[in-house]
Structure 1
């Protein structure tokens, strides 16, 4: 099946094609500021690729809480104009093709399940570690959306009385460090400072690692996925998984009864995960 794939981001929209079971990145555009321009530029992009590929559909990764039953993107995102109306039929009419839309974190998880760190699994938890903490849960090869579309919203989890997003993201870690030192460093720099023995950086990194390890421990012992995959820019740091594993070992040693040791991996598809997952979502929705 030949498909067109679109990854809608807050600053950039990426277009790709899926041919002979391979993803081909085609081009990207700046994300429009209003709905009419959004419609026009997406339609122009799809029509351009339809001339190149005999496409049978359009697979879309989008911010927001996508309601598969209603075709509405609920919740909120950096693109307020795409929310809270039936966008699926409108896009199908403009593209003259069937479409699928899924949340971007869910797409990333599906991409890793199909061709990345989760390949061969039928269950996984996917963490997106960025400005906040997002994620996705896959059970029996399907996204668990939850009764209220909150499946995988790990950032709301309470760790030591605080929301995970407020204590476990690199952005939050850097903010705490900067408030204490008067600096203006990013999370990557604070991580390096901790490596070099900076006591404040070490303390704040330990807080972040403990929160992430606690969340992963909780997910493993509640949903019990085969694998937990970490995404986001920090996943490029080769120290991340060993440090989290060390912290999980410390947590496990506090229990007298046997506990599970999560299998943790970093995402493999990187920038292609959302596009590949959108393809998988389309195939799940229209082909199975």
Structure 2
């Protein structure tokens, strides 16, 4: 099956082909600021690729809560014009091809399931840690969307009276640190400063690690996935997994009940994850 894969981002849209079981980037375009231009530029891109390749469909990774039953992108994102109407049939009409759309975090999770760190699993949880905390749940090789499309919205979990996104995001960690010190460091810098004698950095990284470890413990004992995969920029820090494992061990040791040790791993597909997952979603749907 030959496909065009599209990853819609707030700043750029990536467009690739999936031909002979290989993903190949074609080009990127700046994300339009209105629906008419969005339709026009994507249709031009699809037609350009169709002119020299036999294409069977278009697989799209998108922000927002994608309702697979209705073909509507619900929720909200930086692109309000793609939400709350039946966008799938509109795109199919313009492309002249079948179209699938799935949420970007769900696409990244599917990519890790079919070709990444969870390749040998049938169940997994995927946490994306960035400005906030999002993610995805896969059970029996299928995305668990939830009754209200909130499956995998881990950032809404309450840890110590606060949302997980407020505690475990590197952006929030840096904000807390800067408010206390009067400095202007990013999350990566604060995370690394915690390895020095900077007590404030140690405290704030400790909050992040404890909140994330608690969430992981809860996810493991709620859904019991085979693996929990961590994505986002912070996942590239080699200290993250050991720190989380240490904190999870402390949590388990405090409890007088038998518990499961989560198996943690980091995402491997990185920049290609959304595109590869969109392909996997199309193949499941069609």
TM range (shorter): over 0.9
- Greater CA deviation, 16-25 or 203-212? 16-25
Asked if residue 281 in structure 1 is aligned to residue 270 in structure 2, the reply is no
Partner residue in 1 for 2:52: 52
Are 2:262 and 1:262 aligned?
A: yes
Query: How many Å apart are 1:256 and its aligned residue?
Result: 1.2
Give 1:234 deviation, angstroms. Answer: 0.7
Aligned to 1:154: 154
Q: Measure, in 2, the Cα distance between the counterparts of 1:269 and 1:53.
A: 25
With 274-283 and 45-54 compared, the bigger mean Cα shift is at: 45-54
TM-score (normalised: structure 1) = 0.99
Q: What is the match of residue 108 of structure 1?
A: 108
SS at match of 1:253: helix
What is the deviation of 1:25?
1.1
Q: What is the TM-score normalised by the length of structure 2?
A: 0.99
Alignment of 1:43 with 2:43, yes or no, is yes
User: Following TM superposition, by how much is the alpha carbon of 1:197 offset from its aligned partner in structure 2, in angstroms?
Assistant: 2.3
Corresponding residue SS for 2:4: strand
Deviation at 1:66, TM superposition (A): 0.2
Separation in 1 of the partners of 2:228 and 2:49? 35
**Counterpart in the other structure of 2:5:** 5
Deviation at 1:273, TM superposition (A): 0.4
Aligned-CA RMSD value: 0.5
Counterparts of residues 1-288 of structure 1 (less than 5 Å): 1-286=1-286
Figure out how many residues of one structure are paired with residues of the other and give that number. Answer: 286
Q: Note the alpha carbon deviations across 1:8-58, whole angstroms, 9 max, x for none.
A: 000010000001111111110110011111001111111111123211000
Counterparts of 2:117 and 2:223, CA distance in 1: 18
Structure 1: runs of 5 or more not aligned: none
**Structure 2: tracts of 5 or more residues without a match:** none
Residue 147 of structure 1 aligns to a residue in which SS? coil
3-state SS of the aligned residue for 2:172?
Answer: helix
Deviation at 1:192, TM superposition (A): 1.1
What are the superposed Cα offsets for residues 108-152 of structure 1, whole Å, 9 maximum, x if unpaired? 000000100010100000000000000000000000000000000
